[in-house]
Chains A and B, each alone.
Chain A
Amino acid sequence: NAGVTQTPKFQVLKTGQSMTLQCAQDMNHEYMSWYRQDPGMGLRLIHYSVGAGITDQGEVPNGYNVSRSTTEDFPLRLLSAAPSQTSVYFCASSYSWNTEAFFGQGTRLTVV
């Protein structure tokens, strides 16, 4: 099992560009989520999904879109990148809402 796979690992965007961060898991987990990590602020929940076709907003959803068309994939879309979105992004999955979360390796995004 590969676990949770995120691509790309690094990305530099210009302000206003759009892009999609990919996240895939091969553990048949129902629950998936996206976090951003900024220095001194821990991990903040952007969006999450409790199963295919179901998504909901977290603490900091503005500027981001998600969809969950399959159990395996949970992409995060930046619609129009801003410097404030410079961060490390982590995707996580878990078997259910109250079990341990498995994190991907992260995507380090810089918006200039």
Chain B
Amino acid sequence: GQQVMQIPQYQHVQEGEDFTTYCNSSTTLSNIQWYKQRPGGHPVFLIQLVKSGEVKKQKRLTFQFGEAKKNSSLHITATQTTDVGTYFCAGRGAAGNKLTFGGGTRVLVKP
């Protein structure tokens, strides 16, 4: 079945630095979503990418969908303590009904 992998599993970032988390699927995706989960909380939707090569920005967050629609990335610039949490990508395959989550990247920010 479809598998979605994320790297790195953990990311320790100095406040003010940039970092990127990567998401790779074993199959071509119809779309990909990103979620953020604060410690002790529930996943909250950030964005959805649908088109090949699509790039979307939300303030300091930049999301990209690969040309082959099998990978995606999230880049955060000038990391802040409010960015602490686990970031998940989640992809839908061609059949569409199932949303498969990656293992997540847990972000820790050093002030």
Q: Which residues of A contact B (CB under 8 A)?
A: 33, 35, 40-45, 48, 50, 56, 58-59, 90, 92, 97-106
Interchain CB contact under 8 A, A42 and B45 = no
Interface centre among B44, B90, B99, B101 (most CB of A within 10 A): B99
Question: Which residues of B sit under 8 angstroms from A41, Cβ to Cβ?
Answer: 103
CA of A21 to CA of B105, assembled, Å: 28
Question: Which residues of B sit under 8 angstroms from A58, Cβ to Cβ?
Answer: 98
Interface size on B, residues (CB 8 A): 25
Interchain CB contact under 8 A, A98 and B30 = yes
Name the distance in Å between A43's Cβ and chain B's nearest Cβ.
4
Interchain CB contact under 8 A, B96 and A100 = no
Interchain CB contact under 8 A, A33 and B102 = no
B14: interface (CB < 8 Å): no
Interchain CB contact under 8 A, A45 and B42 = no
CA of A90 to CA of B44, assembled, Å: 12
Interchain CB contact under 8 A, B97 and A40 = no
Identify the closest chain A residue to B10 (Cβ): A40
B52: interface (CB < 8 Å): no
Interchain CB contact under 8 A, A105 and B43 = no
Question: Which residues of B sit under 8 angstroms from A100, Cβ to Cβ?
Answer: 33, 45, 48
Question: Which residues of A sit under 8 angstroms from B42, Cβ to Cβ?
Answer: 90, 103-106
Interchain CB contact under 8 A, A48 and B97 = yes
B88: interface (CB < 8 Å): yes
Q: A42-B103, A104-B42 are in contact. Are A98 and B9 (CB under 8 A)?
A: no
Question: Which residues of A sit under 8 angstroms from B96, Cβ to Cβ?
Answer: 97-98
CA of A41 to CA of B31, assembled, Å: 21
Interchain CB contact under 8 A, B103 and A40 = yes
CA of A35 to CA of B9, assembled, Å: 20
Question: Which residues of A sit under 8 angstroms from B1, Cβ to Cβ?
Answer: 59
Contact pick for B31, options A42, A43, A90, A98, CB 8 Å? A98
Identify the closest chain B residue to A91 (Cβ): B42
Additional 20 contacts, C-beta under 8 A, given A59-B1, A98-B48, A101-B43? A40-B9, A41-B103, A42-B101, A45-B99, A45-B100, A48-B98, A50-B97, A90-B42, A97-B96, A97-B97, A98-B31, A98-B92, A98-B96, A101-B33, A101-B99, A103-B42, A103-B43, A104-B42, A105-B41, A106-B42
